Amino acid sequence: MKKILRYVLIAALLAGVVFTFVYLWKKARPKKEVYELVTPVLGDIEQKTVATGKVEPRDEVAIVPQISGIVSELYKEAGQTVQVGEIIAKIKVIPEMGTLNAAESRVKQSKLNLEQAQREYDRTKELYEGKVVVLEEYEKVETQLKLAKEELINAQDNLEIVRDGIAQRSSVASNTQIRSTISGMILDVPIKVGNSVIQANTFNAGTTIATVADMSDMIFRGNIDETEVGRVKEGMPILISVGALQDQRFDATLEYISPKSTENNGAILFEMKAAVKIPKAVFIRAGYSANAEIILDSRHQVFTIPESAVIFRDTTAFVNIYKGLDGEKQLFEERQVTVGLSDGINIEVKEGLTEQDQIRGAIKEETKSANK
């Protein structure tokens, strides 16, 4: 039994030695590197930069009331279209008690003044007809009567404005009816029936009843990095891709680049705007996130090769030209070339290559051959 156990241990030890020897022998075998061969091809090279931002209407107009009060009716909601002058909401005027009391008091005083002026006119008229007073005195009293009547009318109009928001004899549309100032789509109605609103004045922007925008005139608003802003200019073509519409791209034209930068998380950015051409059949919602591809430079129908095949030393570029096989080993010769524009994947070759040249590319596979 002991002999069998001894033989088993010796066999296991020999097997371990053999396995270790085979493993080390395989690791020591030389590698044979096989490279892909690429040839120069005619193609286009475009160098682009990407700006992030969003698509939004060029102008958004906030509709604010011209009078303070409480919203009594809403005729429109977000998503509906309106025309200039179309009623969006109606406001019920809640007069301030001090102002209302002053307006009512003014009406009473105007009535008393009118009654007094009427009595004076009647007396003066009788005296004038009896040749007791001169025409000048009669005309003066008549003018005072007319002024008293006009003052009463103005006082009544003022009372109606304070109490109801508009005078009955006014030919102007009621201030209690909130109308759209432009044609477009309602983007937001932030108020509800029953909300109190205040009018726009010198010290307050007023309560926004609705936001209206022309959705047929859209722009891309985004930011571009300081390293690229010097290479772009107004009028350059842009390609807009919207995150919510991944299968579609839209042409745009750069209209504006901010002369002042903003800092965001340590990055210096410049605001840019571009007019977007939206087909009528496509509906773009305000605020869609989007990316803008700006073509900084381009070359058309030039020799191109993968940039990974180029070796750079200082300011000089080289490639390895395929010369044939030495047994199983590929032979290459280094050649200097003149390169141009690169898009990060392919690079333009201006001089040094022909269509027949084969260039060493990336390693295709690695095999091992036995030592001889």
Residue 26, helix vs strand vs coil: helix
pLDDT tens sequence across 73-84: 899 999 899 999
Fold classification of 97-164 is: Helix Hairpins (1.10.287)
- Once rounded to an integer, what is the mean pLDDT over residues 167-195? 80
pLDDT for position 1: 63
Is this prediction's pTM over 0.85? no
Q: Classify domain 60-93+176-213 by CATH number.
A: 2.40.50.100
Confidence of residue 251 (pLDDT cuts 50, 70, 90): very high
Give percent above pLDDT 90 in the chain. 23
pLDDT for position 21: 67
Among 37-46, 305-314, 327-336, 359-368, the range scoring the smallest mean pLDDT is 359-368
Among 210-224, 281-295, 356-370, the range scoring the smallest mean pLDDT is 356-370
Q: Is the pLDDT of residue 368 over 50?
A: no
Residue 5 structure tokens: 């156990």
pLDDT tens sequence across 274-311: 999 988 888 888 999 999 998 888 888 888 989 888 99
* Spatial separation of the C-alpha atoms in residues 243 and 220, rounded to whole Å: 13
Q: Classify domain 31-45+300-368 by CATH number.
A: 2.40.420.20
Pinpoint the residues of the chain covered by CATH 2.40.420.20.
31-45+300-368
Q: Are the CB atoms for 113 and 148 separated by under 8 Å?
A: yes
Pinpoint the residues of the chain covered by CATH 2.40.30.170.
49-57+215-298
pLDDT for position 212: 95
Q: Is the pLDDT of residue 15 over 80?
A: no
Between the alpha carbon of residue 149 and those of residues 15, 17, 157, 367, the distances in Å are 128, 127, 13, 113
Instruction: Return the DSSP state at 174.
Output: P
* Spatial separation of the C-alpha atoms in residues 59 and 309, rounded to whole Å: 50
Residue 168 structure tokens: 């009955």
Strands (E), 204-244: 210-213, 218-225, 237-242
Residue 24 structure tokens: 């080390």
Confidence of residue 99 (pLDDT cuts 50, 70, 90): confident
Average pLDDT, the chain: 84
Residue 280 identity (one-letter amino acid): K
Residues contacting 217, CB < 8 A, separation 6+ = 57, 58, 59
Burial of 104 (0-12, 13-18, 19+ CB in 10 A): middle
pLDDT tens sequence across 219-248: 999 999 888 888 888 988 899 999 888 888
pLDDT for position 258: 92
Cα 304 to the chain's mean position, in Å? 36
Relative to beta strand 237-242, strand 311-313 is unpaired
pLDDT tens sequence across 104-161: 888 889 888 888 889 888 888 888 788 777 888 888 888 988 998 888 888 887 777 6
Give percent above pLDDT 70 in the chain. 89
Pinpoint the residues of the chain covered by CATH 2.40.50.100.
60-93+176-213
Pinpoint the residues of the chain covered by CATH 1.10.287.
97-164
pLDDT for position 326: 76
CATH class of the structural domain 49-57+215-298: mainly beta
- Residue 105, beta-bridge partner list: none
Between the alpha carbon of residue 132 and those of residues 120, 138, 145, the distances in Å are 15, 10, 20
Between the alpha carbon of residue 50 and those of residues 47, 262, 272, the distances in Å are 10, 18, 12
